[in-house]
């Protein structure tokens, strides 16, 4: 049986939580809007869960990267994304108003309650799969966060402005590597094309709007997903062309449902180790 | 309780002695992450902004600030997390930049933050640095980027092709 951590050390996480709670928030009419609450909460969980699950996936590379620099870069990207997840899920918990915290949402929800797209929960595969998945997501997140910077919700705009600085850097890195490996050796090119062919049918879920997306768009909180598509397409086409990769001819919106809680079998295998400690030792902290 | 509460100027001086846990040669005021110090109804309020969203040093920095100010006799203290406007390396002070350089970390070059754009990719992929990052050891401008990330989220890995020394560059953010 694993032993509990030393409880005598300073509780820095509790201190950080207290500081975050003490944040003086700008007035945000949407946070207390009861009619909008279910959709706003769900949408914030989608933003948070995309960042959390992709961040967790990337963290699985820690200690396994093909080169030290790549290992470190993936871990740092994971760290940024988990930071974004804390911000989005923290606001989600506040909007929900049930006394839950970002940690509660991350560690105590079951698969059916997770709202991330299926793309981000797919296994890491080789570096090609990891990098193509990252690039397709980064290009979407970049446009989304840019749009959110002018959100009618000052809280959402504040988180987006912070996250955009980091995601811009992620996009620069993932698109550089897609070009480097796509236009690399025969082996790296073949692997990148194979990864693209496999992941492409998952990318469309990022743009598949449902009633939740429409409600937050109508409230001016988030851009309409369809409006993000032209810029995404342009970035993807530009980078793929430079990488000598071929955009698949098949539809890109085949694997849907993650945003509504219908996930692949892979999500449960992420949550099991991620949630183990809080499930086994409720409330444990260090 | 002190009879006369210390001035905010005094508190800023104390905060200038709180080191960053990752790069202890610079203080939290050198980094520009202290956004406000004020007295509010007898409580000292210090507003701190995170450098990177997921930077694990954030909680340790809060603890160090708290310990320092309590040791100076501040009894009623509240730390605020301030997210907006987001931290930028433009706020790293001139003194802070000199301390970074002397420590072996090239300081950020203002105005070069990533915009997600693709314009400079050719230079990056050619192996040449697209930034004129000077080697903090020998001052040479002949440097190349080894990796977009270094030992912490705020740094990238570089190498000097003159003195051959590898070094960290504090990214413009």
Per residue in A47-88, pLDDT tens?
999 999 999 999 999 999 999 999 999 999 999 999 999 999
pLDDT digits (tens, 9 = 90+) for A229-276: 999 999 999 999 999 999 999 999 999 999 999 999 999 999 999 999
What's the confidence (pLDDT) of residue B135?
95
pLDDT tens digits, one per residue of B66-76: 999 999 999 99
Inter-residue contact A32 to A160 (CB < 8 Å)? no
Q: Do A69 and B55 touch (CB under 8 A)?
A: no
Determine which of B116, B146, B154, B171 to mutate to test the interface with A (most A C-beta atoms within 10 Å). Answer: B116
Using CB atoms, pick whichever of B113, B117, B153 lies closest to residue A76: B153
Residue A272's alpha-carbon distances to A57, A105, A110, in angstroms, are 13, 15, 10
Which of B123, B79, B88, B107 has the alpha carbon at shortest distance from B23? B107
Q: A–B: how many Cβ contacts below 8 A?
A: 130
Of B126, B130, B156, B160, which is closest to residue B143 (Cα–Cα)? B160
Residue B124 has pLDDT above 80, yes or no: no
> Residues of B at the A interface (Cβ-Cβ below 8 Å)?
47-48, 50, 52-56, 58-60, 62-63, 66, 78-86, 88, 113-118, 121, 124-125, 146-153, 157, 171, 173
Chain A closest CA to B1's CA: distance in Å?
23
Give me chain A's average pLDDT, please: 93
- B53 to A163: CB separation less than 8 angstroms, yes or no: yes
Q: Answer whether A235 touches B (CB < 8 Å).
A: yes
| Interface mutation vs chain B, best among A165, A167, A175, most B CBs within 10 Å | A165
To 5 degrees, how large is the angle CA A182–CA A186–CA A190?
60
Q: Do B121 and A86 touch (CB under 8 A)?
A: no
- Picking from A67, A76, A232 by the largest number of B CB atoms within 10 A of its own CB, the best residue to mutate is A76
How many CA atoms does the CB half-sphere of A94 hold within 13 Å?
16
Q: What is the pLDDT of residue A286?
A: 72
B56 to A180: CB separation less than 8 angstroms, yes or no? no
Q: For chain B, give the longest Cα–Cα distance.
A: 64
Q: What is the pLDDT of residue B121?
A: 73
Local confidence band at A115 (pLDDT 50, 70, 90 cut-offs): very high
Query: What pLDDT score does A26 carry?
Result: 76
Q: Choose among A116, A168, A107: nearest CA to A138.
A: A168
- Predicted confidence at residue A81, as pLDDT, reads 98
- Distance between CA atoms of B85 and A155, rounded to whole angstroms? 11
pLDDT of residue B153: 85
Q: Which run of H or of E encompasses B70?
A: helix B57-71
| pLDDT value for A242 | 95
Residues in Cβ contact with B109 at an 8 Å cutoff, skipping those fewer than 6 apart: B131, B132, B133, B172
Shortest CA gap A168–chain B (Å): 4
Q: How far is B89 from chain A (nearest CA, A)?
A: 11
Min Cα distance B62 → chain A (Å) is 7
Q: How many helices (H) and strands (E) does chain B have?
A: 4, 7
Contacts of B153 in chain A (CB under 8 A): 76, 79-80, 166
Average pLDDT (A155-176) is 95
Question: Which alpha helices (DSSP H) does chain A contain, by range?
Answer: 12-21, 37-59, 68-96, 102-108, 118-121, 127-148, 154-182, 186-203, 211-218, 225-242, 266-280
**How many angstroms separate the CA of residue A18 from the nearest CA in chain B?**
8
Residue A214 contacts B where some CB pair is shorter than 8 Å:
no
**Spans of all domains in chain A:** 32-280
**DSSP conformation letters of B118-171:** STTHHHHHTTS-SS----TTT--S-EEEEES--SSTTEEEEEETTT--EEEEE-
State whether residue A30 sits within 8 Å of chain B by CB. Answer: no
Residues of B in contact with A77 (CB under 8 A): 149
What is the average pLDDT across A119-134?
A: 98
pLDDT band at B148 (very low <50, low <70, confident <90, very high): confident
The answer, yes or no, to whether the previous bond of A99 is cis (omega within 30 of 0) is: no
Distance, CA of A16 to CA of B47 (rounded, Å): 13
In this predicted structure, the answer to whether residue A24 has a pLDDT above a threshold of 90 is: no
Of A12, A22, A80, the CB nearest to B52: A80
A149–B contact, CB cutoff 8 A:
no
What's the CATH number of domain B8-87, 3.90.1150.10, 3.30.300.130, 3.40.50.300, 3.40.190.10? Answer: 3.30.300.130
B38, pLDDT greater than 60:
yes
Q: What's the pLDDT score for residue A2?
A: 44
A157 to chain B: closest CA residue: B84
In chain A, % of residues over pLDDT 90: 87
Let me know: does A203 contact A119? Beta carbons within 8 Å.
Answer: yes
**What residue in A sits closest to B146 (Cα-Cα)?**
A69
Least Cα separation, residue B79 to chain A (angstroms): 5
ipTM of the complex: 0.89
Domain range A32-280, CATH architecture = Up-down Bundle (1.20)
Interstrand relation of B155-160 and B166-170 (parallel, antiparallel or unpaired) = antiparallel
In this structure, what are the phi and psi dihedrals at residue A50, rounded to the nearest 5 degrees? -60, -45
- Contact yes or no for A179 and B148 at CB 8 A: no
- Smallest CA–CA separation between A63 and chain B, in Å? 14
Give the start-to-end residue ranges of the domains of chain B.
Answer: 8-87, 92-170
Q: Is A284 helix (H, G, I), strand (E, B) or coil?
A: coil
Q: Confidence band (pLDDT; 50, 70, 90) for B123?
A: low
Checking if the pLDDT of B143 tops 60, the result is: yes
**CB burial class (10 A; 0-12, 13-18, 19+) of residue A69?**
middle
Instruction: Please tell me the least confidently modeled range out of A158-167, A192-201, B36-45, B146-155.
Output: B146-155
The pLDDT of residue B127 is 60
User: What is the model's pTM?
Assistant: 0.92
């Amino acid at each position: 049986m694993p032993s509990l951590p030393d409880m005598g050390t300073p509780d820095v996480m509790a201190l950080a939580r207290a500081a975050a709670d003490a944040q003086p928030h700008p007035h945000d009419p949407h946070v207390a809007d009861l009619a909008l609450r279910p959709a706003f909460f769900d949408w914030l969980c989608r933003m948070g869960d995309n960042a959390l699950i992709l961040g967790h996936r990337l963290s699985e590379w820690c200690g396994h990267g093909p080169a030290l620099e790549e290992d470190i870069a993936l871990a740092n990207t994971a760290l940024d994304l988990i930071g974004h997840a804390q911000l989005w899920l923290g606001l989600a918990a506040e909007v929900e108003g049930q006394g839950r915290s970002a940690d509660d949402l991350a560690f105590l929800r079951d698969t059916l309650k997770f709202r991330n797209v299926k793309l981000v929960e797919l296994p890491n595969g080789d570096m090609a799969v990891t990098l193509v998945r990252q690039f397709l997501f980064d290009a979407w997140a970049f446009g989304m966060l840019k749009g959110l910077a002018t959100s009618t919700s000052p809280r959402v705009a504040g988180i987006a402005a912070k996250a955009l600085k980091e995601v811009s850097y992620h996009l620069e890195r993932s698109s550089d590597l897609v070009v480097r490996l796509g236009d690399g050796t025969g082996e790296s090119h073949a692997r990148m094309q194979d990864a693209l062919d496999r992941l492409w049918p998952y990318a469309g879920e990022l743009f598949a709007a449902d009633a939740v997306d429409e409600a937050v768009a109508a409230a001016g909180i988030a851009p309409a997903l369809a409006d993000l598509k032209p810029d995404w397409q342009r970035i993807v086409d530009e980078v793929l062309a430079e990488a000598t990769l071929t955009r698949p001819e098949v539809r890109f919106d085949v694997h849907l449902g993650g945003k509504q809680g219908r996930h692949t079998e892979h999500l449960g295998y992420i949550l099991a180790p991620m949630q183990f400690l809080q499930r086994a030792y409720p409330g444990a902290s260090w | 309780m002190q009879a006369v509460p210390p001035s905010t100027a005094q508190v800023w001086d104390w905060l200038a002695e709180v080191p960053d846990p990752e790069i202890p040669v610079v203080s939290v005021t050198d980094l520009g992450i202290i956004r406000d110090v004020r007295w509010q109804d007898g409580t000292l309020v210090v507003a701190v902004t995170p450098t990177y969203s997921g930077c694990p040093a954030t909680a340790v920095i809060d603890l160090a600030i708290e310990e320092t100010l309590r040791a100076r006799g501040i009894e009623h203290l509240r730390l605020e997390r301030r997210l907006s406007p987001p931290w930028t390396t433009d706020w790293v002070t001139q003194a802070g930049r000199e301390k970074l350089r002397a420590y072996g970390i090239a300081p950020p070059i203002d105005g070069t933050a990533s915009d997600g754009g693709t314009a400079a990719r050719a230079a990056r992929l050619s192996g040449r640095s697209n930034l004129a990052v000077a080697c903090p050891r020998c001052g040479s401008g002949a440097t190349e980027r080894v990796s977009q990330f270094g030992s912490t989220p705020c740094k990238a890995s570089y190498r000097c092709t003159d003195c051959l020394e590898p070094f960290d560059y504090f990214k413009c953010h």
